[in-house]
Structures are given as structure tokens and as C-alpha cells.
Amino acid sequence: MVFTKILMKMPVNHFKKNRIDIQKAAVSTFFLKRLTSDDLPFEIVETKNVGEDGKLKLVRIDNIPVNDVIPISFVLNMEIEDSIFSAPQHCKKVERVIVLFSCWSLYIIMVEMKSTLELYEDGSISKIEQKIKDSLVRVLLFLNHYALDEKSFDDYIVNFHALILYNKEKISQQIIKDETRKHNELVKVFLGDKDSFWVKSNELAAEYKVKTIFKQNAPDSEEFDLDLSLVFDGDEDFENAIYSDKTLP
């Protein structure tokens, strides 16, 4: 009797197979940028309303943990245009997302710039909330497909943060006239009633807790200097991130 060994062909993991090409494309189109010590402080330049006085036009973020040997810090340009990585028209987006591979967890820090915070119009809290939600989904889809599908990341904790930098705010006065807006989850964070809100994603069939931090600048300043280490003051994992050996595989 002759036994024939049948070899089962395993399905090709196209995401993993094309990972390097996708990462190279992300870098070449400036959607993804690795941070080194030469990039600090990292600057975010506002491209809209640049001709108006008193608008927040530039943010400089210093003390982002970097390692010039092992790439642990990256920035995603969520506003990139005319690229395969550009957001669909229906998607809102924050200015930038800082991705930091720390010793024990991954930090996803969504950065949003606002000249004026308010309940209505362009600076409205509801629009910022949608920007955070849409940006979180986009980042996770990118990372899950092209970075975090390795077994070494199976037990790796992901910390979601939203960093909202602004000059002025009208919310304190507006909620006096419309107290129903106090029920908005992001308004509760702004008022100090809580420190985070939950993002529910139908695309990812999951819910994510986003710790949200509001930082105010001088009312009419066009530039904002921020020390990121002070934002995460006392977070041992964040402070020791420079010793991490995690990176994009």
C-alpha cells in the first residue's frame, strides 16, 4: 500500500508579506515619520487660517521619548492630502498622532490644535470628539495590519490618549445657557468631572478608553510650547520608554 503525503498550502498573509512595502510607502509619502533626537522639539504647523492674527498656528512638543538606535517613536500625519494614506472625505482627523513603543505598553497620543474651544461651530466639542474617534480607528487599522500582528505584541497594552491644545474657550459660559451639553462625555472631561471617554468602533467591533487632556495656551498666542514629559509626569512606563526594545517589525 502506498501512502501519499498531502501538503496543505497555507494561505498567504498578504498584510505581513507586504508590510515592509507599506511601511516604506507610508514613510515616502510623509504619512509616517520616525522621530529621532534631531527632530525635537517636534513641530506641528497649522495650514488653515494662517493669515488671521491670534490663531494657534504652531505647536512645539519637546521631550518625546526617542531612541536613536531603536526606532521607538513615530508620528502619523493624519491630515496628509493627495496620498493613498489620506483619510476618506467623511472622516474627521486630528492634526497628528504620536505612536510610542514603551517598555510595557504602546502609547497612541492624538494631538488636536484649537484656537478656540466652544460647544458650537468649527471649534465644537462634538467635532473634536468625532476627530478622535475617526483618527483612533484609522491608526488601529494601520497598526494592526502592518505592525501589531506579531505574537510579541499579544500581551502588549495599548494606551489611548487625546491631547487637546487650545488658546481660548467659550464652553464655560456657553454651558450656563445650555446645561444639557454637560452630558457630553468630552465636556465632562473638560469640566474635570472625569479624565477619559469611551470610543465605540463598529469597524473594529470594540470599545476603547481614551484618556483626554486639555492644555490651555496664552489666549492670543500663535505658538504653543509643550513639554510632553510634564503631561505624563509620574508615569514610570512613559519615562522609561527610551529603554524599550519594541518597534515596528
Residue at 248 is within a domain:
no
Do 130 and 112 contact (CB within 8 A), yes or no? Answer: no
Q: Is residue 19 part of a domain?
A: no
Q: What is the separation, in whole angstroms, between the first and last Cα of the chain?
A: 48
Strand order across the beta sheet in which 42-45 lies: 42-45, 58-62, 223-227
Query: Is residue 156's pLDDT more than 70?
Result: yes
Total domain count for the chain?
Answer: 1
148: containing domain? 31-243
Is residue 132 within 8 Å of residue 94, measured between CB atoms?
yes
Residue 63 lies in a domain: yes
pLDDT band at 16 (very low <50, low <70, confident <90, very high): low
Tell whether 75 is covered by a domain. yes
* Mean pLDDT to the nearest integer, 178-204: 90
**Separation CA 77–CA 248 (nearest Å):** 17
Task: Average the pLDDT over each of 5-9, 17-21, 56-60, 207-211 and give the range with the smallest value.
Answer: 5-9
pLDDT score of 14: 60
- The answer to whether the beta carbons of residues 80 and 29 sit under 8 Å apart is yes
* Whole-angstrom distance, CA of residue 12 vs CA of residue 209: 33
Q: Is residue 18 part of a domain?
A: no
- Mean pLDDT throughout 9-38? 80
d(CA 246, CA 249): 8
Q: What is the pLDDT of residue 99?
A: 96
pLDDT digits (tens, 9 = 90+) for 46-63: 887 666 777 999 999 999
SS3 at position 35: coil
Q: State residue 152's pLDDT score.
A: 75
Q: Tell me the whole-structure pTM to 2 decimals.
A: 0.89
How far apart (Å, rounded) are the C-alpha atoms in residues 64 and 10?
A: 42
What are the Cα distances from residue 195, in Å, to 41, 89, 213, 240? Answer: 26, 30, 7, 23
AA identity, residue 146: Y
CA angle 75/124/58 to nearest 5° reads 40
Residue at 4 is within a domain: no
Q: Is the pLDDT of residue 6 over 70?
A: no
